[in-house]
A and B are shown apart, each in its own frame.
Chain A
Amino acid sequence: MKGKPKPRARTAPPHAPEPAGAEHRWLGKSVPRLEDRKLLTGRALFTDDVDLPGMLHAALLRSDEAHARIKRIDASAARTREGVVAVYTAADLGDYWKPGPHLVPPPPVEGLVFHSCTQVPLAKDKVRHAGEALALVVAESRYIAEDALEDITVELEPLGAVTDLEAALEATSPLVHEQLGGNVAAKARQTKGDYAKAAARAHTIVRRRFRYDRGAAAAIENRGVVAQWDAKAEELTIWDTTQAPIPIRNGLAAMLGLRESQVRVVAPFIGGGFGPKIMMFYPEEVLVPWAAMRIGRPVKWIEDRRENFYATTQERLQIHDAEIAVAADGRILGVRDEFLFDTGAYDPYGLTIPINSQCTLLGCYRVPNYDSTFTAVFTNRPIVTPVRGAGRQHGVFVMERLLDLAARELKLDRVEIRRRNFLAPDDFPHDHGILFQDFRPLTYDSGRYAEAMDMAAQLIGYEQFVNEVQPGLRKAGRHVGLGIVSYIEGTGIGPYEGARVTIEPSGTVRVATGVGTQGQGHFTTFAQLVSDVLGMDPSKVQVITGDTREFGWGTGTFASRGAVVAGNAVYAAAQLVRKKVLDLASEALGAPRQALVLECGSVHVAGEPRRTVRLGDLALKANPLRGGVSPGTEPGLEATAYFGPERGNAANGVHAMIVEVDPETCQAAIRRYVVVHDCGTVINPMVVEAQVQGGVAAGIGNAFYEQLVWDENGQLLNASFMDYLLPTALDVPAVEMAHTVTPSPLNPLGTKGVGEAGAIPTAAAFAQAVEDALQGRVEITEAPLSPGRLFELIGDGWPVAGSGEDP
């Protein structure tokens, strides 16, 4: 690989966490959320709650075929239905019709093969997945619009569907994009060291094929777009369930021929993001504003649940052929992995997911030699873009399973083999020598992996379980097992976010930032940061997120980066305001800056509480109607700051679980679930723990219940919650949690991300636990694992009661 950076000298981290002045009163506290009241009383605005005078409703005609040529679309009957205002097909869009922008360029990996084929607003000539949009109907109500869908005649000439990843690569396969001459979307190889040499001197090589299937994010709120064009003001307002309002505004302005300042995108309260809501530009995002401008009335489109299964992005299958070469003592000499990645019918999101898989596989371990190649394959299924975990799951599953299998062959304890391979606390920064999704070299900033493992093992009672508890249970004929795995989560990547902090004359502080919020608690956590810096109560800090009119620079919430990147921008802006406050107060109170204390929304001289001024009054003072603002200063008490980390940081953790498998039903019940997590500095422990608990629920779904079943014709067989099973309150245990705190040197707060952590290693822990429950009679190299599938795998292999022998 060319361009490998030179080894870094060990210097002090560039940004050591800075104290805020006063002690941290709010940082690290479980402050109850400021945004709850509106949500609890049903007064929070979600996208479908937007109601505008004259508003029309849209519905989309979607293809039933997975792969077909479009012979004819005739919408004339639909246009004559009473209540229908307009019907558009690809032909009606004229010049506006164009494939979406390519969102994420591939990283500069040597020898990269990459073909960009992005989604279109309405299918023209060909449909490439079941559910692809064929026409847009706009009518007086959604009911009428759906009636009109049935009036549209479509003639499709079915083509063979590309569904099997390996068959897709054969010369005889139908082609999703004919102009490519094949179904390869990309191929990328990253290497480090020399795996072949390492394998040659290995004591043991373990080689397996792993299949890891993902599913839908299935946020409880489906997607939606509302657009209103004010022809007099020449302004377009869009409400969108997006995780990235600013890029949506920029892109739509360009597409519609408007200035960015003419477009306002509002991401109001959003009922769960989890990844697919950052995909852009969905056909509906492109069509609804265009239709609103043409018709001259506001237009609303709200997705229904069945549409969500086809029209919202999801993650899917990866097939890994992987091997690990280990020394006799279990030390990893190298790993080689070749895998296939299903990108769906289009690939606007580039290679984020497979690169994450490739990088996350290395885990918390020292891996001196690595050779990883993936092929991204086009198929006739909906687009694949990141869903909570974004490909990290696959990497963790492969590595943790390989280690478990190697441990079994070497007759080594499975916790011990990990201990022998963990990076040590003074190994940082550790450059793995390959590129991460932010195009920077994959470099871990900090972590204490062995300590996390020890803590988790202790919490779950590992030693006692293995030596005493389990043998007893086995004698009693019960099949109980323990799984314990470690993982890395790369978080907090750039490019940047920004924030503006303003002290208003009322004494309230207003914070605006460009990221959106989908339940992560930004309204509270960002308020906490500002409160510490300015010495106030968080309830006096009003945070606005997701409105491009309030703040117009940034990217969005994804990749577990909100608190890290936007949080640090908020913190930096607050620091700048603090400086202005101190300067002004020093003058107003006639005291040097060092003698001033910020407390309870006021500034006073230390030891002299009556020499004080309220922040609100200072703000008024800073914005005079008479007198001048001196050169080099700014009016008011306001500052804007941006934060862009040098690279992403590495959060880590350990998941451990105890499961019991029922021989009659093959149901695996989780008896205990332990998470030890390290996300660096914690802003609000309550919020962090809830993110982990929620992530574990998603992980349990992925490990056991959730699988999108696509048949060989590209048809989805379980497009409803009756058949795509989400975990319920009976399926998700209360997670027992502990934290280690290893601050990141890459940002002043020392924070790392946590949004996806809970969801990442669950399947790996589950597989290990079930194998342990069945005493190794079954080898689990796939996820998810439904009771039916487990039944097939076990066959006659149920361990006999009381045997307790090692397989």
Chain B
Amino acid sequence: MSARQGGGVPISLTVNGSPASRTVEPRLLLSDFLRHDLELTGTHVGCEHGVCGACTVLLDGEAVRSCLLFAVQADGHAIETVEGLAPGGGAGGREGDLHPLQAAFHAAHALQCGFCTPGFLMTLVPFLRENPDPDEHEIREALSGNLCRCTGYKNIVDAVALAARKPGADARGAA
């Protein structure tokens, strides 16, 4: 879906390691670009004003809110989404096919409706990379920019602690 206001801008970027080139409206949000133009619907939109964190993706390895960026701003950059975390996209049936964070979320029952989960996962990848051994308070602080209405956060905190003990938890995905 393009925003068609007249005048498309060609952009080229990599998404989960693969090149993507499109012509887009300047006002097209990055979240809409990923979800509708590239059909990567794992990134979710909760508020469109940068507070809930559900739309978090990685831009050149840093966590950003894709609802606050335009697609044109991603031109020339590397984007990673939740679909890129598990090798092969997690379509295989085996436990080992998941990224350690995903496996930890599952083991700790850190998701209920799952809508906010991709945003949490993408926030946590750079966090664990920079803080491989966080304590509970550090974890809660890191999570404080992502809203969840289902879990009350406890199991998410447990999942992060669990994942931190596993090797490769800070690894970015298939990228």
> A–B direct touch, CB within 8 Å, in complex?
yes
A residues less than 8 Å from B3 (CB atoms):
141, 143-144
Given contacts A221-B115, A721-B47, contact A42 B81 (CB under 8 A): yes
B-contacting residues, A303-322, CB 8 Å = 304-305
CB–CB B147/A272 < 8 A: no
Q: How far does the Cβ of A29 sit from chain B's closest Cβ, in whole Å?
A: 13
What are 10 contact pairs spanning A and B, CB under 8 A? Answer: A32-B109, A36-B105, A40-B111, A42-B81, A48-B45, A140-B4, A220-B113, A730-B144, A732-B153, A734-B154
- Please, what's the 1-or-0 string for B55-83, where 1 marks a CB less than 8 Å from any CB in chain A? 00000000000000000000000000111
The answer to whether the Cβ of B152 comes within 8 Å of any Cβ in the partner chain is: yes
- Please pick, from B25, B48, B150, the residue contacting A143 in the complex, using a CB distance under 8 A: B25
- Please pick, from A304, A729, A758, the residue contacting B143 in the complex, using a CB distance under 8 A: A729
The answer to whether the Cβ of B46 comes within 8 Å of any Cβ in the partner chain is: yes
Given contacts A720-B47, A722-B49, A734-B157, contact A39 B114 (CB under 8 A): yes
A residues less than 8 Å from B52 (CB atoms):
220, 305, 721
CB–CB B107/A735 < 8 A: no
The answer to whether the Cβ of B44 comes within 8 Å of any Cβ in the partner chain is: yes
Bound CA span A142–B36, Å: 12
CB–CB B153/A697 < 8 A: yes
Q: Which of A113-121, A688-696, A774-782 contacts B (4 or more CB under 8 A)?
A: A688-696
Q: Is the interface of A mostly helix, strand, loop or mixed?
A: loop
- Please pick, from A39, A46, A147, the residue contacting B111 in the complex, using a CB distance under 8 A: A39
**What is the chain A residue whose CB lies nearest that of B157?**
A729
Q: Chain B interface (Cβ within 8 Å of chain A)?
A: 1-5, 25, 27-28, 35-36, 39-49, 51-52, 54, 81-83, 85-86, 89-91, 93, 98, 102, 105-107, 109, 111-118, 121, 139-141, 143-157
- Please, what's the 1-or-0 string for A253-293, where 1 marks a CB less than 8 Å from any CB in chain B? 00000000000000001111010000000000000000000
**What is the chain A residue whose CB lies nearest that of B106?**
A36
Q: How far does the Cβ of B104 sit from chain A's closest Cβ, in whole Å?
A: 10
Given contacts A518-B113, A690-B151, A758-B152, contact A43 B106 (CB under 8 A): no
Given contacts A49-B41, A270-B113, contact A40 B149 (CB under 8 A): no
The answer to whether the Cβ of A206 comes within 8 Å of any Cβ in the partner chain is: no
Bound CA span A633–B32, Å: 54
B residues less than 8 Å from A43 (CB atoms):
42, 83, 89-91
- Please, what's the 1-or-0 string for A36-63, where 1 marks a CB less than 8 Å from any CB in chain B? 1101111111101101000001000000
A residues less than 8 Å from B98 (CB atoms):
37, 40-41
Q: Chain A interface (Cβ within 8 Å of chain B)?
A: 30, 32-33, 35-37, 39-46, 48-49, 51, 57, 83, 140-144, 147, 217-222, 269-272, 274, 304-305, 518-521, 686-687, 690, 693-698, 720-722, 726, 728-730, 732, 734-735, 758
Bound CA span A218–B89, Å: 30
Bound CA span A142–B46, Å: 16
Given contacts A41-B102, A51-B39, contact A690 B112 (CB under 8 A): yes
Bound CA span A118–B98, Å: 48
Q: How far does the Cβ of A329 sit from chain B's closest Cβ, in whole Å?
A: 38
19 further A-B contacts with Cβ under 8 Å, apart from A32-B109, A48-B45, A51-B36, are A36-B114, A40-B98, A40-B102, A42-B81, A43-B91, A140-B4, A143-B4, A219-B113, A220-B115, A271-B115, A519-B114, A521-B112, A694-B112, A694-B150, A721-B47, A722-B51, A728-B143, A734-B154, A734-B157
Given contacts A33-B109, A220-B52, A721-B52, contact A42 B140 (CB under 8 A): no
Bound CA span A140–B4, Å: 9
**Which residue, of B52, B85, B113, has the highest number of chain A Cβ atoms within 10 A?**
B113
Given contacts A46-B41, A143-B25, A732-B152, contact A41 B82 (CB under 8 A): yes
CB–CB A220/B116 < 8 A: yes
| A-B complex: 3 closest residue pairs judged by Cβ atoms | A42-B42, A271-B115, A39-B114
A residues less than 8 Å from B51 (CB atoms):
720-722
CB–CB B115/A272 < 8 A: yes
A residues less than 8 Å from B115 (CB atoms):
46, 219-221, 269, 271-272
- Please pick, from A32, A143, A519, A520, the residue contacting B106 in the complex, using a CB distance under 8 A: A32
Bound CA span A39–B54, Å: 13
CB–CB A695/B106 < 8 A: no
Bound CA span A37–B41, Å: 15
**What is the chain B residue whose CB lies nearest that of A147?**
B5
CB–CB A272/B154 < 8 A: no
**What is the chain A residue whose CB lies nearest that of B154?**
A734
**What is the chain A residue whose CB lies nearest that of B102?**
A40
Bound CA span A734–B93, Å: 32
Bound CA span A110–B174, Å: 66
